[in-house]
Amino acid sequence: MNHHNLISRLPKAELHLHIEGTLEPELMFALARRNAVELPFDSVEEVRAAYRFDNLQSFLDIYYQGADVLITEQDFYDLTWAYVMKCREQNVIHAEIFFDPQTHTGRGVPFETVIGGIHRALDDAGRRFGMTTGLILCFLRHLSEAEAFETLEMAMPYRDRIVGVGLDSSEKGHPPAKFERVFRRALDLGLRTVAHAGEEGPPEYIREALDRLGVSRIDHGVRCEEDDELVARLAEEQMPLTVCPLSNVALKVFDDLADHNLKRLLDRGLRVTVNSDDPSYFGGYVNENLAAVQAALDLDRDDIVRLVKNGFKASFLPRDKIEDCLDRVDRAVSGCEPSDLAD
Ligand code: HPA
Ligand code: ZN
């Protein structure tokens, strides 16, 4: 049984989405033209053909290069607005969005330009569609602690526009502990913290993120499965994992979607959520991720509803808003045709 109708009809939350990773090749070309930036590609087809990765680093190299076309406040607005339009198509009603300011400030684009354009689009999405959103500032972990502190300082005039801080980029060799002090400062400022951990890095990095960064969620976290005690702890604490199935296959964290551990982790009681990471690069937004794991791992209707509900439970929405969203999911399930619901 496939559950595409159910998947597309359910209201959903997205919690692991890099806004720079939503840059579709068509928009990349349009912005390159607008800003007179040279691209190393001649066509959209050539860009898509370049999206074959061996590991996280081979992806990051091309992802940072793609971001070079983003220069003005309007560019960041257009990028974010295109994602908002996808959310409308996909029935994503709440999104907590990562952005990587250092990718831009490092090329001379002011912090204010970046956050200004992104925030204006999210503001419009809220006013026009009632979509709720949060922004999470990610530190690039291959850069230094001092640079992370400088970035947090730049964000201070915009403190009320972000819900939290995160940690992304090259994981191996850059353990969470490297950023313990900057995360401490963020926590003191009342920000939430999350971190990519256990994508390519070892289970020990997940423990470090929990114990030293005070995280509210683990981004990816799939390598927890190598450590039974850690899995038991994640289940006990109901610590959310923001899993990104198509990303994991594209970056060869798993050879094949059929090998993915999402269903095993869900069955062990972990608060697993499904997300798209960098949808333009990895072949799909949330609905495509859900449909792909549903087919590859033979998920039933209850699994899908659990995954979708987990997305809201793991969000930074206030308690009463979470309850409203869970009710909306229940109502959407009851409104589905019997043929959408059969197992
Ligand atoms: N991992 C680390 N850094 C990233 C990712 C990811 O999946 N996507 C964008 N930056
Ligand atoms: Zn990510």
CA of 168 to the centre of ligand 1 (A): 5
Nearest atom (ligand 1) to Cα of 20? 9
Measured on CA atoms in the order 332, 335, 340, 343, is the torsion positive or negative? positive
CA of 96 to the centre of ligand 1 (A): 15
Q: Which of 15, 51, 55, 56 to mutate to test the pocket of ligand 1 (most atoms within 8 A of CB)?
A: 56
Q: Which of 168, 242, 247, 276 to mutate to test the pocket of ligand 1 (most atoms within 8 A of CB)?
A: 168
Residue 1 confidence (pLDDT) = 59
Residue 336 confidence (pLDDT) = 72
Residue 127 confidence (pLDDT) = 98
- The Cα 56–Cα 125 span in angstroms is 31
**Protein residues placing their CB within 5 Å of the ion ligand 2:** 277
CA of 341 to the centre of ligand 2 (A): 31
Cβ 69 vs Cβ 31: under 8 Å: yes
**Ligand lying nearest the CA atom of residue 59:** 1
CA of 230 to the centre of ligand 1 (A): 22
Closest to 141 measured CA to CA, from 187, 189, 195: 195
- The Cα 15–Cα 2 span in angstroms is 24
Determine whether the shortest distance from the Cβ of 278 to ligand 1 is under 6 A. yes
- pTM comes to 0.97
Q: Which residues are catalytic?
A: 199
Q: Which of 17, 18, 246, 251 to mutate to test the pocket of ligand 1 (most atoms within 8 A of CB)?
A: 18
Range 31-40 contact pairs with CB under 8 angstroms and sequence separation of 24 or more? 31/69, 31/70, 31/71, 31/75, 31/78, 32/69, 34/75, 35/69, 35/71, 35/72, 35/75, 37/68, 37/69, 37/71, 39/69, 40/65
Residue 138 confidence (pLDDT) = 99
pLDDT along the chain (343 residues), means of 10: 86 98 97 96 93 97 97 99 98 98 98 98 98 98 98 98 98 98 98 98 98 98 98 98 98 98 98 98 98 98 98 99 98 78 53
